[in-house]
Amino acid sequence: MTKEILHQHLQELHTHLIDELLPFWTTRTIDEVNGGFVTHFDQYGNDSGEDEKSLIAQTRSIYTYASAHRAGYGGGALAELARHGVDYLIGTMWDEEYGGFYWMTNRRGEVTNDQKIVYGQSFAIYCLSEYTLATGDLRGIKYARTVFDLLQKYATDTTHGGYFEMFLRDWTLKGPGSAGGDRKTLDAHMHLMEAFTTLYECTRQSIHRRKLLEVIDLLTKKIMHPVYGTGIPQFWTDWQVAPQIKFDVIWGWDRFTNDGVKRAAEDNTSYGHNVEFAWLLLHALTILEIPHEVYHDQLRKSFAHAVDHGVDWKFGGVFVEGSHAGEVYDREKEFWQQAEVLIGFLDAYRIFGDERYWQAYENVHRFVLDKLVNHSVGEWWPLTTRQGDPIWTHMSHSWKINYHTVRSMVQSIQRLDALRVISR
């Protein structure tokens, strides 16, 4: 790493964020008629017309605008966008009878799926806590606290620990199998850690701290592989490893076979999730004021596995997934994994001082700017071949939204700025 290269990377990310990425969203996403955000755009940035507003897309958009405003971008306009989103989230997606947020409405705000999915509730806590931190509007933390309390009441597994994840509207646990009532996931619990971190940052209440520490304990002792330190995707409710299946209510576009079961269903791990988990854990420890050395071994394993096995040193970027022991299964490139490892590799370089993490960061940085960004419109291709040729071409839908890309730029710029200060 040299000062010149560091400055170049900073400038590239800043230009992309200010001139391409944020304008893509701020110029087209606000729904002036029905409230909330339009979140479906084709490869040219045109509204692709899907008649839905998902809890994930609405909450992630609120988080994006609130966090970017908090980081100093937008001159106040992003705070107003976040406020617009909160108005819709609270006014239309909140269930006044049973509490919690509905999973899906159509564009007009009519509820089309009234289920309570913990993954979605976690993002409500996350975005609303961030919104209050960014704007001072106490509506955010009021509802974030309420959702947190609902999870403790209805979703907590008092026998085995952690949280059940799939509920009907009245918080009745759904059935087994693809309904998901008999499963627990890395994904939901990792995002609960993320949500509880920001909730605690906002409230500093002891109950929020305690529950954050409980989730961290579960993640590090139950969910991450005991040998390799890598994430195991799905479990039975007693934390025995379960084959990874596709749920009836999905929140991502992972590739499954036609029967809904993933290849090597009991031995697959996501390089992007592992690095995302590690940097989110580091952030949680910072908010908790716990030295990262306490979790040194876990952090080292999560970061090292991605560098050793997930980075494509030939074509750039990071692969999708592979075995815990190291074999790569899926060599395509997903947008969100690239976004998360940019942040994570900079954190790993900072805490370990190992040059290979800087080299891995540069590798992914170059792949993103040269291959993954659709510069003609400003957002990222969702999925490419190993070489970087687009496979999926939409710019946004309910599961591919601004949260990963904008957060990656904001957080990476902050970390590069800190490295620049250190290197002076």
State yes or no: pLDDT of 248 exceeds 50: yes
- Beta strands 166-167 and 383-384 are unpaired
The string of DSSP codes covering 26-78 is HTT-B-TTTSSB---B-TTS-B-----EEHHHHHHHHHHHHHHHHTT-GGGHH
Three-state SS at 113: strand
pLDDT in tens, 141-189: 999 999 999 999 999 999 999 999 999 999 999 999 999 999 999 999 9
Q: Report the mean per-residue pLDDT for the chain.
A: 95
pLDDT digits (tens, 9 = 90+) for 4-37: 899 999 999 999 999 999 999 999 999 999 999 9
Per-residue model confidence as pLDDT tens digits over 103-146: 999 999 999 999 999 999 999 999 999 999 999 999 999 999 99
pLDDT interval class at 257 (50, 70, 90): very low
Helices (H), 204-309: 206-218, 271-288, 296-305
Position 265 confidence tier, pLDDT thresholds 50, 70, 90: low
Residue 273 CA, chain-centre distance (Å), reads 9
| Tokens, residue 106 | 């159509």
CA atoms within 13 A on the CB side of 404: 27
Can you tell me the mean pLDDT for 227-232? 96
Whether the per-residue pLDDT at 259 is higher than 60: the answer is no
Lowest mean pLDDT among 4-18, 135-149, 236-250, 379-393: 236-250
pLDDT in tens, 215-226: 999 999 999 999
Q: What is the pLDDT of residues 63-96, one digit of tens each?
A: 999 999 999 999 999 999 999 999 999 999 999 9
What pLDDT does 33 receive?
A: 96
- For the chain, report the end-to-end CA distance as a whole number of angstroms: 12
Structure tokens that stand for 411 in this block: 């957080």
> What residue type is assigned to position 133 of the chain?
L
Domains in the chain (CATH in brackets) are 3-423 (1.50.10.10)
Nearest to 199 by CA among 132, 105, 268, 282: 132
Summarised one tens digit per residue, pLDDT across range 289-317 is 999 999 999 999 999 999 999 999 999 99
Q: What is the dihedral of CA 25, 316, 268, 272, to 10 degrees?
A: -40
% the chain with pLDDT above 70: 96
DSSP code for 383: E
Q: Give yes or no for residue 256 having a pLDDT over 80.
A: no
What pLDDT, on a 0 to 100 scale, did the predictor assign at position 250? 77
| Percentages of the chain per state (helix, strand, coil), in multiples of 5 | 55, 10, 35
The confidence score (pLDDT) of residue 2 equals 83
CA distance 99 to 349: 43
Predicted local confidence at residue 118, as pLDDT: 98
Report how far Cα 162 is from the mean position of its chain's Cα atoms: 19
Rounded to the nearest angstrom, the gap between the alpha carbon of residue 155 and the centroid of all alpha carbons in its chain is 21
What are the Cα distances from residue 337, in Å, to 149, 163, 239, 405, 419? 31, 25, 25, 10, 23
Nearest Cα residue to 96 out of 169, 157, 152: 169
Q: What percent of the chain lies above the pLDDT cut of 90? A: 92
Q: 269 - beta bridge partners?
A: 322
DSSP 324-341: TTS-EEE--EEHHHHHHH
